[in-house]
Amino acid sequence: MSKRAEGKTVAILAADGFEEVELTSPKEALENAGAKTVVVSLESGEIQANQHRDKGIMVSVDKTLDDVKADDFDALLIPGGLFNPDTLRQSQKALDFTSKFFEQAKPVFSICHGPQVLISAGLVNGREMTGFTAIQQDLKNAGAVVRDEKVVVDKGLVTSRNPDDLPAFNDKIVEELCEGKHEAQKKSVAA
């Protein structure tokens, strides 16, 4: 298998209540392509996955938001889940960390309910995006141009709807990571 993403490091921003497969599947795809992944959370220790509404696996936190900065990474992944985005969007540190990736023109990947973090960070206005059906209206209300497709790419921002779309999402995030910075990502934040 090609290690075309070798030398790249991706932050996976997650908290308790992330949808298990929306973290584990993209993480595996990125690592299989040669990238290093780092699970970043609000606190050290472990975070609890969900499998829909049931409890899933525990995942070890590699670094806390206090220990990292966007400069340390080549891209950001925000998985969904019902509770993960709600927790993250209430943390100014998480919102600031996310915003820095846009300011630095780095790829950002988010699936399912994950784009709610982008809404709270004020990063979706004018962007072509998708997300879980239940948050598509929230995206529209925040100014996003919503497309109900498996995966939507807009200037380095990759969004997807749900676990059924993971094969297409995983392929696209590896591709975007390998492409690197997208200067239009930075320009869209300034607009």
Q: Is residue 190 pLDDT above 60, yes or no?
A: no
Quick one: pLDDT at residue 4?
85
Q: Which two tokens stand for residue 150?
A: 């498996």
d(CA 113, CA 126): 19
Side-chain half-sphere exposure of 167, counting CA atoms within 13 A:
1
Quick one: pLDDT at residue 52?
85
What is the residue-wise DSSP string for 88-139?
Answer: HTT-HHHHHHHHHHHHTT--EEEETTTHHHHHHTT--TT-EE---GGGHHHH
Q: Is residue 53 pLDDT above 90, yes or no?
A: no
Catalytic entry in 52, 112, 178, 182 = 112
Q: pLDDT by residue (tens digit) across 110-121?
A: 999 999 999 999
Q: What is the mean pLDDT of residues 175-181?
A: 87
Quick one: pLDDT at residue 24?
98
Q: Is residue 170 pLDDT above 90, yes or no?
A: yes
Q: pLDDT by residue (tens digit) across 1-12?
A: 458 888 999 999
Q: Is 2 exposed, middle or buried (0-12, 13-18, 19+ CB in 10 A)?
A: exposed
- Whole-number percent of the chain with pLDDT over 70: 94
Domains of the chain: 9-179 (3.40.50.880)
Answer yes or no: 182 catalytic: no
Q: Is residue 67 pLDDT above 50, yes or no?
A: yes
Virtual CA dihedral for 19, 35, 187, 168, nearest 10 degrees?
-50
Quick one: pLDDT at residue 1?
46
- Whole-number percent of the chain with pLDDT over 90: 87
Q: pLDDT by residue (tens digit) across 132-158?
A: 999 999 999 999 999 999 999 999 999
Answer yes or no: 178 catalytic: no
d(CA 152, CA 100): 21
Q: What is the mean pLDDT of residues 47-70?
A: 95
Q: Is residue 188 pLDDT above 80, yes or no?
A: no
Q: Is residue 26 pLDDT above 60, yes or no?
A: yes
What's the pTM? 0.94
Catalytic entry in 52, 113, 178, 182 = 113
Quick one: pLDDT at residue 142?
97
Q: How would residue 184 be classed by pLDDT, with cut points 50, 70 and 90?
A: low
